[in-house]
Amino acid sequence: MLISKEGLIDYLYTHRIIEGSCWLWTENTHQGYGMVKWCQMRFGVHRLSLFAHRDNFDIFDTNILALHKNECHNRLCFNPDHLYTGSYADNRRDASELIQLRTTFPCGHPRIESNISYENRLHGRMPKCTMCKKLKDDIRYLRRKFGVVKNRLEYSQEEEDIQKGPIYTCSMYKRLFIL
């Protein structure tokens, strides 16, 4: 069943919540992006929004992507003012710029120069959290030294704040390991 652009716009508008200037999708999602089945195919809602609101966007051209502008990185947003058309290279460039703007790693540790180590990846160097790497190395060392089962050793952040050093607890032996 083919739907007109006006019908598509009406459908998109009935499944949105407006927060600030963002139009947030309220229905099905995949990897954080709004998804909808249209013309017997699955499309990202942001891609359908560009198709419905702009005349020069070909929805079936897989080399052209619907990308979020740097001001809006909300995956559920499909406001055409927050979107632009670009290539896969533009998408990779935007992703690397977004990573550089972050002040913390996903783990919550600060993203400062002394806490960044770089790991070579397929598409370039990827910044990693040095504190997390040290914690993983400490846990690996304790497991080998005391023969602790992998899932029994846990890092305790609250204890570290009090004791001024990393502390690990073992539920198997009820011990505290202080490094």
Q: Average pLDDT per run of 10 along the chain, which is 179 residues long?
A: 73 88 88 83 88 81 84 86 89 79 78 80 72 79 68 51 49 46
**Distance from the first to the final alpha carbon of the chain:** 66
The span from the CA of 19 to the CA of 56, in Å, is 28
- pLDDT on residue 152: 53
In one-letter notation, the amino acid at residue 178 is I
- pLDDT on residue 57: 77
For the chain, domain boundaries: 5-101, 133-178
Q: Is the dihedral of CA 46, 48, 49, 53 positive or negative?
A: positive
SS3 103: coil
- pLDDT on residue 175: 47
The span from the CA of 140 to the CA of 136, in Å, is 6
